[in-house]
Structure formats: C-alpha cells, structure tokens
Amino acid sequence: MSKVKIITDSCSDLPAEIVEEYDIEFLNIEVNINNQVYYDRSNLQPEEFYQLIETGNEVPKTSRITPNQFKESYQEALKNYDQILVIAFSSKLSGILESAVIAKKELNSDRITIIDSKAASIGQGLLVYQAAKMLKEDKTVEEVVSKTLEAASKLEHVFAVGDLEMLKRGGRISKTKAVMANVLNIKPILHILDGEILPYDKIRGKKRMISYLVNEVKKNADRPSSQVIALTHSKNNKFVLKLKEELENKFKPQEILISEMGAAVGSHAGPGSLAVVFKNSEKIAEPELY
C-alpha cells in the first residue's frame, strides 16, 4: 500500500487536533492586520484574530500561498511519501489552487494529485477529514480521489452572516445596504454554488439563524442520519453549540464536526457568523482534478 500525504491550506478551518491526528500538511495563509503580518492558525488563532479586528479600523488583507511554498512542501513530502493529495480552497475564491498547480508543473511529477474542492472553510475541511479517514482505512489513493470528487460535487454550504461590518469594509455590500440591514436587524444568508459565494436568502434577527440552518438540512440533505455534518462559526460559540444540539436531536447524524473560522475566511465573514455544511441530495458543484 502506497504512503500518501494530504496537503491543504488553512482556509479549510480544520481543528488542530484533526490536523495532528491524521498528519495533514497544513499551509498557513498570510494575513496582514494593522501593518503586522501573521499566519492563520499558526501564530494567529481565531480568538486572537477577532480581538484584533475589533480594535482596528482596517480590513485585514490575506495573501495566497505561493507556488514556491507549495513546491517546497511537495519536495519535502516526496522524500517520505509515495504520493501527494492536495485538496485546495475553491479556485473561484482564491489563487491558492493556481499556485498548487504551478508548483506541480515545475516539478513535473505524476506523484501529485490536486483537487479543486470548489469548497471553503469547514466544507473544504470536511473533504480533507474524510479523505484522511479513508487513507487510514487503507483505501487506495484512486479510491480516495474518486470519493472526494463525488462528495465535493454535492457539498452544500449555508452561511448566516452575523455582522455586516466586514462585508461593508471589504466592499462586498454598500454602506447604505449595511446601515439599512443593521437597522432592520436583517442577516444575509449566503451559500456556495460550484465554488462561488452567492446570496441565498435573508432572515430577520440573530436568533433565527439556528432554526433556518436546521431547516436547510431538513429540506436539502441527503439522508442526514448517515452523514457527517460540519459546522463553523466566527466568535459565535453559544449559537454553534445550540445548532449542534438541534441537529443531533432531529437527525442523529454519524458525526458533527465543529470549527471556528480562522483569519483566512473570517477576514471576509466577520464575527457572529454561523454555517452548516452537509451533503446535498443533488449535484451542485463540478470539482476538478489536476
């Protein structure tokens, strides 16, 4: 059985204990806040990140992982592993996938397989986690790639945005819309369709986040009791634990994976957000293989 190394990036928002348990290579996104450079989930943990943005006035700036960083990671991994599997952040949201592919071409290696997950945050993390578990069960890399592509094609992400300030600062919504939404206590609902973040719905009041997301699982999930459901939040621990409880009571899924958005994703979502990721009953993405 060949030895396979999984490489991903910190946009996956994978909890540290999973990264360590499955020996996942984790490339950290560079984040610039108030003219200081940090590395997401390395020297900047989620709790510290949200504290920094509350006290600063500038929009955090993130930098994609460079081809050279991927190249160095590949070269090191190939010394000890037969094959490398990269599961990358959606190509429609970042240039990370492009960097991974450039590095592979420079090495001209057929021992590197790259998946454009068309996923983000814990959605991407869920794909990595499930791939790592399959490898631990001695599945071949071909089996893992096939099942990961299949899972990615039906992966639904639904995000309830808690604080519009980051969307306003980043120019994703106008100042007028942000003010009106705050006055009316409206929370935008976003989702990811084939790797792209799009408006999905809106609700009024933070307390409705939980019931809305539970209902999305009920309407769209493919047999929720037989799958792993992933949750992520940004400085919203109370609500994510309540959401977990509701999902456990209603659907009894195999497992519920929880993480907190790090700086890479939190720079755009802002604090107070809440998301659920699950396998949809329909195909909604076209993940790609390189």
Q: What would the pLDDT profile of 213-222 be if each residue is shown by its tens digit?
A: 999 999 999 9
C-beta atoms surrounding 255 within 10 Å: 9
Pick 165 or 77 by higher pLDDT: 77
pLDDT of amino acid 142: 96
Asked whether 279 and 229 are in contact (CB, 8 A), the reply is no
pLDDT in tens, 31-42: 999 889 999 999
pTM: 0.94
- Choose which CATH entry (3.40.640.10, 3.40.50.2300, 3.40.605.10, 3.30.1180.10) describes domain 155-289: 3.30.1180.10
Is the pLDDT score of 172 beyond 60? no
pLDDT attached to residue 168: 53
Q: 95: Cβ–Cβ under 8 A, 6 or more apart, which residues?
A: 64
What pLDDT score was predicted for residue 93?
A: 94
Tell me if domain 4-153 and domain 155-289 are identical in fold: no
Q: If you search the block for the tokens 């986690």, which residue do you land on?
A: 129
| Strand blocks (E) in the chain | 4-9, 25-27, 30-33, 36-39, 61-63, 83-88, 112-116, 155-160, 186-193, 196-204, 228-233, 255-260, 274-279, 288-289
pLDDT at 162: 72
pLDDT digits (tens, 9 = 90+) for 229-275: 999 999 999 999 999 999 999 999 999 999 999 999 998 888 899 99
Would you list the domain boundaries of the chain?
A: 4-153, 155-289
Quick one: CA dihedral 47, 50, 52, 55, positive or negative?
negative
* Token code pair at residue 271: 């604090």
Most confident of 84-98, 174-188, 202-216: 84-98
CATH of 4-153, one of 3.40.50.10170, 3.30.420.480, 3.40.50.10190, 3.10.105.10: 3.40.50.10170
- Percent of the chain exceeding pLDDT 90 equals 82
Residue 169 pLDDT class (50, 70, 90 cuts): low
**Is pLDDT of 46 > 80?**
yes
Cα separation of the two ends of the chain: 22
| Distance from C-alpha of 231 to C-alpha of 3, rounded to nearest angstrom | 30
Q: Are 116 and 145 in contact (CB under 8 A)?
A: no
CA 267 to mean position of chain CA atoms: 13
Structure tokens, 48: 């510290």
Q: How does the average pLDDT of the chain come out, rounded?
A: 92
Model pLDDT for residues 96-118, shown as the tens digit of each residue: 999 999 999 999 999 999 999 99
Q: 280: which residues sit within 8 A by CB, 6+ positions away?
A: 154, 155, 156, 220, 221, 222
- Side chain identity at residue 268, one-letter code: H
Q: Enter the tokens of residue 268.
A: 């755009």
